[in-house]
Chains A and B, each alone.
Chain A
Amino acid sequence: MNNPGTYALVAIALTAALAAQAQTPIEDLDGIEAATLECRFGWGSGGTSCAVVAQVSFDGTNWLDVARFDFLTASAVKVANLNGHLSKAVTAYAALGSEGVNDGIMAARWRGVVTSVGTYTNTTVSLRLAAR
């Protein structure tokens, strides 16, 4: 693949609520075959819930959920591994619910989208992608 490596899709300090806040994308990952995602939520205080979604795009305009990580009011580290060699039957795309995965969908553009409820204090969230 082009440009294998580890990339930060999300690295933010959470404060006020975020409504599906898309981060700038990581691009030029043509030929990606597998992806390991690590989502790290460091909770300080406050807030209610936080969802971090990894998305891919084939055209740079339309984005598909591939993994979703959900957190409440406790620090946690969650991981997912996605495999581009999977055979998939034709299926209608659906946005992911809590802790969901759409495995096997690999595209050259990746980004993170953060949604949070409530006002967090001294709280950070990161989503890193190991692309290979």
Chain B
Amino acid sequence: MSGEVAALDAALERAGDTVVLRRTVGVAPVAINIDVEVLAAVRSYRPDELVGDIRQTDSLAIISPTPIGRAQWPGGELPTAGVADPSLPRKGDKLVVAGRVRSIEFVAPIYIAGELVRIELRILG
């Protein structure tokens, strides 16, 4: 694990909230939820960040790849063409923050020297 990931993990351990990253397969009543608990720093966007279609009700969540890798989330998947890394959250996944299910709208993985060190999520609602 790189120093950047270790530093993020330590920061989230100190100040992060436990949230649930959720991928849902199928639709109700036969939907399957694949959950993993992660620590996240969740905050509202500042006024100067409200550009484009970012709304006041949206939030920015920062998570570490560590718990995702540890849990091997989302588990077994069909090898799907076009999905480079199934373990990266994607649009349509959910983040359950303080009991509220929020939709992930945008995912910004940050790599340093080819290693995934941080994942930023724009969540709606």
Contact = CB atoms under 8 A, between A and B. Distances in A.
B26 A24 contact: no
A115 interface: no
A24 B77 contact: yes
Interface string B25-37: 1110111101000
A72 interface: no
A26 B70 contact: no
A28 B70 CA distance: 10
Interface size bracket, B side: 10 to 19
Interface in B1-34: 23, 25-27, 29-32, 34
Interface in A97-132: 111-112, 122-124, 126-127
Nearest to B86: A24
Given A24-B79, A24-B86, A11 B74 contact: yes
A7 interface: yes
B92 to A, nearest CB: 13
B20 to A, nearest CB: 14
Contact of A75 (B23, B30, B34): B30
Q: Which of B26, B31, B70 has the most CB of A within 10 A?
A: B26
A7 B76 CA distance: 8
Contacts of B52: none
Contacts of B27: 122
Given A11-B32, A11-B34, A23 B26 contact: no
A88 to B, nearest CB: 26
B31 to A, nearest CB: 7
A84 interface: no
Interface residues of A, number: 28
B32 to A, nearest CB: 5
B75 interface: yes
Contact of B26 (A3, A9, A112, A122): A122
Interface string A8-27: 11111100000001011111
19 contacts: A3-B72, A7-B71, A8-B74, A9-B76, A10-B76, A11-B25, A11-B34, A11-B75, A12-B25, A12-B78, A13-B26, A23-B77, A23-B78, A26-B76, A28-B72, A112-B76, A122-B27, A122-B30, A124-B30
